Structure 1
């Protein structure tokens, strides 16, 4: 997909980003429109989208903190978010189902990691389910074990990528 563009989110992308979110996660895990809007408004530099032929087809969004425990549910609402925090925490990396398995998620993730590095962050952190550990490990993330997070009633692993 040579025509794919990775760029910082714009407010007009909100509906597309919410659509990607609800098509990518179970209802109990998907971010609310208000959460996505909050992330767009307050931390656009931590929110990238993948655009193909004028359509937003993927996203990665985040918050920043100096904490190492990222299991706090309120953080997803950017409560405790510190733009100057040493860690950047991915809340969601998602691509529309019909565009998966084409390397778009990897391109989003690589662009995000580069941006985090350029922002002077110490590490990129995220929570993922066990089946996604190999995917993130293939991008250099290390599994730090089971998180205390119970988001959506699931078990999550903390993954870290030192920068």
Structure 2
């Protein structure tokens, strides 16, 4: 994958290249994780070189990064799964981030992680990374993009609202969530809540499964 276009930061154009990441990018990708998830976030949950190596071995097409002025500005990692509506956890579906569970004969592209350096946020880079997956899904003739979203805004209201009511309030436009609302703006649609999706107190350990359906997909008769 190779795509170049301009993003803007304070009206300054940023020439941005979307490409597949390689072993040469590993150190920068780990640095991005450190910037996006600083302490007290556990450092053992940042990407490791072993995990990144597994990504490019099992599914190099789905290992994508963004480069701005020679610097890796963000990344998004995926695998292909066979999805038939089953509940799941992030750890189960991704084999704890190693994507050994990648199934080249599956029907859906699943988002493992998206990270954007803080200094490049609000440039539209996250949305551009997400759009790169839509191109990939069409190219690979898969049914959809799927992924479990965190709901970090839920922590502020979890004593007042159930997770179901929290999601409903977002869909009704009564409140915004930093992750769910971003993904909706990027084209993803909430499907269902996934209990015990990941160890995430801010989201009460829930994930919100969100989908983008490939409008060009045709089922084989």
TM-score normalised by the chain length of structure 1: 0.89
Q: Deviations over 1:98-151 (max 9, x none)?
A: 111111111111112111211111100111112211111112211122213442
Distance 1:155 1:30, change over 3 A: farther
- Greater RCO, CA 8 A, separation 6+: 1
Preserved CA contact (<8 Å) 1:11 1:41: no
> Aligned equivalents of 1:102 and 1:16: distance in 2?
20
Preserved CA contact (<8 Å) 2:190 2:211: yes
Q: Which moved more, 1:45-54 or 1:73-82?
A: 73-82
Task: Kindly state the Cα deviation for residue 65 of structure 1 after the two structures are TM-superposed.
Answer: 0.7
Q: Which moved more, 1:82-91 or 1:62-71?
A: 62-71
TM-score normalised by the chain length of structure 2: 0.67
Q: Could you say which residue in structure 2 is the equivalent of 1:95?
A: 116
Q: Is 1:147 the equivalent of 2:194?
A: yes
Distance 1:18 1:156, change over 3 A: same
- Report the count of equivalent residues: 163
Q: Could you say which residue in structure 2 is the equivalent of 1:23?
A: 35
Q: Could you say which residue in structure 2 is the equivalent of 1:133?
A: 180
Task: Kindly state the Cα deviation for residue 4 of structure 1 after the two structures are TM-superposed.
Answer: 0.7
> Aligned equivalents of 1:96 and 1:9: distance in 2?
16
Q: Could you say which residue in structure 1 is the equivalent of 2:50?
A: 34
2:91 aligned to 55, 73, 77, which one?
A: 73
Distance 1:160 1:149, change over 3 A: farther
Q: Is 1:161 the equivalent of 2:212?
A: yes
Q: Is 1:53 the equivalent of 2:65?
A: no
- Mapping of 1:110-125 within 5 angstroms? 110-125=131-146
> Aligned equivalents of 2:22 and 2:28: distance in 1?
11
> Aligned equivalents of 2:115 and 2:59: distance in 1?
18
Q: CA RMSD in A?
A: 1.9
Larger Rg computed on CA atoms: 2
